[in-house]
Amino acid sequence: MDKIIREAQELFNVHVTGRQVMSLITYEKELLEWNQKFNLTAIRDVESIRTKHFLDSFSCVLAWRANPPNRLIDVGTGAGFPGIPLKIIYPNMKLTLVESVGKKAMFCQHIVSVLGLEDVDVLHKRAEDLGHNPEHRECYDWAVARAVAKLNVLSEYLIPLVRIGGRMLAQKGESGPAEAQSAEGAMKLLGGKLEQLIPVHLPGVADDRYLVIIDKIAATPPKYPRKPGIPTKQPL
């Protein structure tokens, strides 16, 4: 774990305290145990969990630099990434985790309780439904997602949840720049505007990675997001 702490600081200027390290170790242990019963993540060895889950989650810090979100929503969080590692390093942040697969949502609930994290809501729901709920629509400083859908689809999930002046963050692989370009029309329709792409380098990971950042500059029209399933079948 020392290596991860060093890399988090060198790459992303993230300082991990002793107590936070203990939380990450517990998280890793629970993830490995649960993964034997339920298929939560394809990443199964300790080294990869530390790089491709923990460090990759910390890379989001490059998007907001010294100004972390007060309220963050993580859509399609899976086993809690990137939301839970970010909550561990920003204990005062209010976090909402959204996951449509029951066993993954159950694991998130379990880990939140084991780690004693406060101000975390785990919702076993779909983003399209949440986007019309007044408790969530246009309420968040940042909405984040990792490897959930193509950017034109993802924009319809995330932008409706972000307040005007807030931002959407998509963690993307090498297709990031091309997806960002082809999704600009969808972003505009939803009240968003492409702000920037930040390249991310993870040690030992050859693939290109990007943080795609979208500004919310106008209210999302009431008809978006469309009903569950439609954004994927008929992308904007």
Phi, psi of 192 (to 5 degrees): -110, 165
**Burial class of residue 41 (count of CB atoms within 10 Å of its CB; 0-12, 13-18, 19+):** buried
- Non-local (6+) Cβ contacts of 4 within 8 A are 16, 24, 50, 51, 54, 55
Whole-model pTM over 0.85: yes
Q: How many CA atoms lie within 13 A of 85 on its CB side?
A: 30
Does residue 16 register a pLDDT over 90? yes
Are 79 and 40 in contact, with CB atoms under 8 Å apart?
yes
Instruction: Specify whether the backbone of 54 is left (phi greater than 0), alpha (psi in -120 to 50) or beta.
Output: alpha
Amino acid letter at 19?
A: R
Q: What is the mean pLDDT of residues 206-214?
A: 94
Q: Please give the CATH architecture assigned to the domain spanning 2-233.
A: 3-Layer(aba) Sandwich (3.40)
Domain spans in the chain, listed from the N-terminal domain onward: 2-233
pLDDT digits (tens, 9 = 90+) for 32-80: 999 988 878 887 788 888 998 999 999 999 999 889 999 999 999 999 9
